[in-house]
């Protein structure tokens, strides 16, 4: 029963379609099932930050009454014949950085490769230098500006990696700043420790530089990150010429023993054993499946923590080996799915014309998410709708598959699938109202249609115009 204080309830009404994404993690044939309600005057009701009901106006009003609430205590949001989706989840970003890298972008257009730019001390190391030199306020200001644009594009939850400091104090600072931005809201920020993003300049002169840096990450950075208690997971850039599979395994095993979930950048440029490692970590863990049952309960529930063990995601995967794809398929089949988090905007921006084999993953039963990979070197975009468009055009995803990839599957890739990523009673009320009648039009309009209204935890947090 409720006292019905105004502001506790929100009623979105007048929608032409509601893509609920109900039913948990998508893989294989279900990847494309967006669970769309269609008809006239559809509604979604939220109460105290959680979804109460979705359906026709009559159904939703009935449910509101059954819960003992008065319609008068619901603030109204007119969807005006638009589409309602869950708030989008960006499961792979490098949110906090200083500087831009348009010069390198032009150098690449003249034929220079990623590893060549890296070897020349450019690329990621120029961002590391700029980020180390930036003040907290400069980094926060940049992060806030980016988050504001992401919100306007319908994103309500963002993963944010460290990895542009590569020393103990600097990595802790990036995690703390990401955490602070999340506390400011309205976008929820999920911090990831990525000390093993690259080997910093001060280790490169040594013959054993990479090994010495791996030992530093495991022996110095990781324990400090655990003591700080902000990072939710640990990531590694597993790639030939950066951190090999054996080094990546040592870092991720240490992180896992310390209680962090693990994920990795895998097989972006060449088959490097990344997909195989992800599958092995998942199968070796005693983890709960990353696919939680639909619905359920409160934030930071046992299910949510359980879903964070194991290997949550293998990201990029533009060049996996056949054995790597088979291993990921076996992990999914065994109920230990590793989410293949694909980053097509990166392949597109790099002009490589080599995209992750998304169709092959889906056919093999591997769950697929897509993310922006927001970063100043290889993916300067803040728009998940644009990434959906690229995924449909270049990787052959259907709009339904792409929508699942930025909602429920992306939520599962963060270990948050029990709380966010779909519109189901009991889940957090993160919603987007789009000026579009169907899910097909979301990736169809290449200019990345901004959201009309965004709701986070049951509150309106963005209105266009």
Q: For Zn ion, which is the closer residue by CB, 22 or 345? A: 345
- How many residues bind Zn ion (CB under 5 A)? The answer is 1
The distance of closest approach from Cβ of residue 265 to Zn ion in the complex, given in angstroms and rounded to an integer, is: 5
Structure tokens at 223: 């324990």
DSSP string of 329-374?
HHHHHTT-PPEEEE-HHHHHHHT------HHHHHHTT--EEE---B
Structure tokens at 167: 């020393």
Binding mask 360-379 for Zn ion (x = CB under 5 A): -------------x------
The distance of closest approach from Cβ of residue 268 to Zn ion in the complex, given in angstroms and rounded to an integer, is: 8
**Which residues ranging from 37 to 56 are in contact with Zn ion (CB under 5 A)?**
none
Rounded Cα gap, residues 430 and 419, in angstroms? 10
The distance of closest approach from Cβ of residue 94 to Zn ion in the complex, given in angstroms and rounded to an integer, is: 6
CA end-to-end span of the chain, whole Å?
37
The distance of closest approach from Cβ of residue 274 to Zn ion in the complex, given in angstroms and rounded to an integer, is: 12
Of 313, 195, 308, residue with least CA distance to 260: 308
Q: Residue 154: which residues within 8 A CB-CB, separation 6 or more?
A: 85, 87, 88, 384, 385, 432, 434, 450, 451, 454
Q: For Zn ion, which is the closer residue by CB, 20 or 378? A: 378
The distance of closest approach from Cβ of residue 92 to Zn ion in the complex, given in angstroms and rounded to an integer, is: 6
DSSP state of 391: H
- Whether the CB-CB separation of 27 and 362 falls below 8 Å is answered with yes
Of 225, 122, 185, 192, residue with least CA distance to 454: 185
Q: Residue 112: which residues within 8 A CB-CB, separation 6 or more?
A: none
The distance of closest approach from Cβ of residue 341 to Zn ion in the complex, given in angstroms and rounded to an integer, is: 9
Q: For Zn ion, which is the closer residue by CB, 314 or 420? A: 314
**Which residues ranging from 196 to 235 are in contact with Zn ion (CB under 5 A)?**
none
Q: For Zn ion, which is the closer residue by CB, 331 or 343? A: 343
The distance of closest approach from Cβ of residue 61 to Zn ion in the complex, given in angstroms and rounded to an integer, is: 45
Residue sitting closest to Zn ion (CB) = 373
Rounded Cα gap, residues 368 and 346, in angstroms? 16
Q: For Zn ion, which is the closer residue by CB, 288 or 373? A: 373
Q: For Zn ion, which is the closer residue by CB, 50 or 263? A: 263
Q: For Zn ion, which is the closer residue by CB, 242 or 287? A: 242
Write out the residues near Zn ion by the rule CB under 5 A.
373
């Amino acid at each position: 029963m409720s006292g019905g204080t105004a502001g506790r309830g929100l009623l979105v009404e007048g929608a032409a379609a509601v893509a609920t994404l109900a039913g948990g993690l998508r893989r294989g044939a279900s990847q494309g099932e967006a669970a769309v309600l269609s008809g006239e005057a559809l509604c979604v009701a939220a109460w105290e930050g959680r979804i109460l009901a979705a359906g026709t106006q009559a159904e939703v009003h009935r449910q509101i009454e059954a819960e003992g609430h008065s319609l008068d205590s619901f603030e109204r949001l007119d969807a005006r014949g638009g589409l309602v989706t869950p708030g989008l989840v960006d499961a792979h970003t490098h949110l906090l950085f200083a500087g831009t890298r348009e010069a390198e972008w032009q150098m690449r257009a003249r034929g220079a490769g990623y590893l060549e730019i890296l070897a020349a001390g450019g690329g990621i190391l120029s961002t590391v230098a700029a980020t180390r030199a930036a003040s907290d306020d400069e980094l926060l200001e940049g992060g806030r500006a980016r988050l504001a644009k992401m919100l306007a594009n319908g994103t309500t939850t963002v993963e944010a990696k460290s990895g542009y400091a590569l020393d103990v104090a600097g990595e802790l600072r990036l995690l703390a700043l990401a955490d602070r931005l999340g506390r400011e809201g309205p976008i929820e920020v999920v911090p990831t420790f990525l000390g093993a993003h690259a080997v910093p300049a001060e280790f490169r002169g040594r013959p054993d530089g990479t090994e010495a840096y791996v030992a530093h990450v495991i022996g110095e950075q990781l324990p400090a990150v655990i003591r700080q208690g902000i990072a939710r997971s640990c990531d590694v850039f597993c790639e030939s010429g950066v951190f090999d599979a054996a080094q990546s395994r040592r870092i991720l095993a240490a992180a896992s023993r310390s209680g962090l979930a693990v994920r990795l950048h895998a097989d972006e440029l060449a088959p490097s054993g990344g997909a195989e490692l992800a599958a092995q970590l998942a199968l070796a863990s005693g983890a709960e499946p990353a696919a939680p049952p639909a619905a359920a309960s409160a934030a930071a529930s046992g299910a949510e923590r359980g879903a964070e063990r194991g290997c949550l995601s293998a990201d990029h995967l533009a060049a996996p080996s056949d054995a790597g794809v088979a291993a990921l398929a076996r992990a999914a089949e065994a109920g230990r799915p590793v989410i293949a988090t694909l980053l097509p905007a990166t392949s597109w921006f790099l002009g490589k014309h080599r995209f992750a084999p998304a169709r092959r993953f889906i056919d093999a039963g591997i769950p697929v998410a897509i993310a922006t990979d927001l970063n100043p070197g290889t993916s300067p975009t803040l728009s998940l709708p644009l990434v959906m468009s690229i995924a449909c055009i270049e990787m052959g995803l259907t709009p339904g598959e792409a929508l699942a990839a930025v909602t429920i599957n992306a939520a599962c890739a963060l270990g948050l699938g029990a709380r966010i990523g779909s519109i189901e009673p009991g889940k957090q009320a993160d919603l987007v109202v789009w000026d579009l009648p169907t899910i097909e039009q979301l990736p169809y309009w290449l200019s990345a249609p901004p959201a009309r209204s965004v709701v986070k935890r049951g509150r309106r947090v963005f209105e266009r115009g």
